[in-house]
């Protein structure tokens, strides 16, 4: 019987700040209003201190009009 292997730990990073500034210099407050979050939540997400829910992540991606992987990346620890 093969031993079960657990997936290793990983980290979710994002390119929200880069994309936000590249697209018409959208402010954190403006992005927050468009996606139904607070400015402080956007600040925390950009800094990697808060992981958004799936719904909020998809709202952000839809607002930017790019693919999910362009905004959020998952790096698995080896």
Partner 1 sequence: MTLVENMSEPERRSWATLIVDVAVFSIFLKSMLRNGGVEHLSGKELIELYILIIIASIVLHIVIAIVFSARAKTSGYESDERDLAIERKGARNGFWVVGTAINVIIFMFLMENGVSGYYVPVPGLSFLTPSHMFFGLMSTMFLGDIVYRVTMVQAYRRDAA
Check: CB of residue 16 under 8 Å from CB of residue 60. Answer: yes
Distance CA 64, CA 78 (A): 31
The residue (of 22 and 48) whose beta carbon lies closer to partner 1 is: 48
Q: Which of residues 14, 20, 31, 52 is near partner 1 by CB under 8 A? A: 52
- Assess 13 for contact with partner 1 (CB under 8 A): no
CB neighbours of 57 closer than 8 A, spacing ≥ 6?
68, 71, 72
- Assess 46 for contact with partner 1 (CB under 8 A): no
DSSP state letter for 25: T
The residue (of 46 and 70) whose beta carbon lies closer to partner 1 is: 46
- Assess 49 for contact with partner 1 (CB under 8 A): yes
């Amino acid at each position: 019987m093969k031993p079960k292997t657990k997936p290793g730990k990983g980290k979710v990073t994002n390119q929200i700040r880069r994309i936000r500034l590249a697209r018409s210099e959208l402010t954190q407050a403006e992005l927050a209003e468009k996606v139904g979050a607070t400015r402080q939540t956007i600040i925390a997400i950009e800094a990697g201190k808060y992981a958004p829910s799936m719904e909020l992540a998809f709202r952000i991606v839809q607002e930017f009009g790019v693919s999910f992987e362009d905004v959020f990346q998952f790096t698995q620890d080896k």
